[in-house]
Amino acid sequence: MNQESKPVAMTEEARKERVREVLRAASEPLGPIQIAERIGEAWCMWNGSGFGSAVTPLLRKVGAKKTSGKWSLKAAPVAEVEPGCVGEMGLTPPGVMSHARWEQLKAEMAVPQQ
């Protein structure tokens, strides 16, 4: 076989990105065979069906979470939401604010205004 015309093998990073795309598009957690079938490329298929053992190591590497044999991407961390009004100090009582927000307000008030 002519090595110059031989197709270049897909890199591990490209495979990881394909797995991430499938998990992002999924509305519910998927099993490794389902993920492989949705990708549908030669590296993760065997005799026309999904080859889950080709996908499983990549799932671990992309940081997917396994629950009851199904995989999903971990949820992004949610920013701390402060109870009460948002924006200006307004009607939000100090007892409702988080400690970090209260410290920030005290620091802002300590700066002399011009």
Q: pLDDT tens for the chain, 114 residues: list them.
A: 567 777 777 889 999 999 999 999 888 999 999 999 999 998 999 888 889 899 999 999 998 989 888 999 875 444 555 555 555 555 556 566 677 877 888 888 887 766
Q: How far apart are CA 26 and CA 105, in angstroms?
A: 42
Report yes or no on 27 lying in a domain: yes
What confidence score (pLDDT) does residue 97 get?
A: 67
Helices 52-61 and 32-39: angle between axes, nearest 10 degrees:
100
Containing structural domain, residue 27: 12-73
Count the residues in the chain.
114
pTM: 0.59
Domain total of the chain? 2
Q: How far apart are CA 92 and CA 84, in angstroms?
A: 6
What confidence score (pLDDT) does residue 30 get?
A: 92
Report yes or no on 108 lying in a domain: yes
Q: Are residues 90 and 39 in the same domain?
A: no
Q: How far apart are CA 24 and CA 18, in angstroms?
A: 10
Q: Are residues 57 and 25 in the same domain?
A: yes
Q: Phi/psi of residue 56, each to 5°? A: -55, -45
